[in-house]
Amino acid sequence: DMSVCGVSAAIATAAACKAKKEELSVAVGLSMAFTAVMMVVMPMAIRAIGMDPIVAGAWVGGTIDATGAVAAAGNALGKDAETVAVTVKMIQNILIGVISFCVAAYWVRFQERSTDGSSVGIGEIWRRFPKFVLGFMAASLVFTAVVSSGTQGEGIVEAIVGGSTKTVRTWLFCLAFISIGLESDFRSLATHFRGGKPLVLYVAGQTLNLLLTLFMAWLMFTQVFPNASDVLKK
């Protein structure tokens, strides 16, 4: 969840390891709450300390969960920061499929056993693998090919993803969250927060994520690729 892209990663991973609906709701709720705070606080802090926009964009893209929130936070820091932030986040999004497969494989082979004590069959990995990830990857490949096809490719993609399709996507996303809410029992959900363990885990994990990502952003865009800003301006 906190290491890839938030809600989509949480849903995919929950399907892969057969997590309870209440556990998924906890992950989604924490992700959305922290995303709302970070998308406002991080740009303010970055501007206050005068961080390089390229480094800032990479930091924002690697730490804020939702892609839309990353774009909004990046936009508040300038065009270059937004470009880098969204690019980093889209690379993370690609990892959803890889991580989901690894989680499903691990759970099937090492965490779950059949009634006779033997390992669950390998076909179970495919049955629980979140199929929407395949659609995501296929759509990414198709749109990448269209954009790369020529000068009109980018305009075609913008026409497809804008307008009415954007409205449909927004409504479908809202309905997905409504469905999660309708299947969530808040009395059962409260038991997961007793002792504050999920909150402590999320804060600790996100703090480590912030520090490690900041270091890697600084390393990659000041030491390894110091001319990244010049490339973006070409």
- Please give the residue that has the higher pLDDT: either 132 or 217: 217
119 DSSP assignment: B
pTM, entire model: 0.75
- Please give the residue that has the higher pLDDT: either 3 or 40: 40
Q: Which of 190, 132, 176 is nearest to 16 (CA)?
A: 132
Q: Which of 177, 96, 108, 172 is nearest to 140 (CA)?
A: 96
User: Is residue 203 predicted with pLDDT exceeding 80?
Assistant: yes
- Per-residue model confidence as pLDDT tens digits over 135-176: 878 888 888 888 787 767 777 777 777 777 778 877 887 787
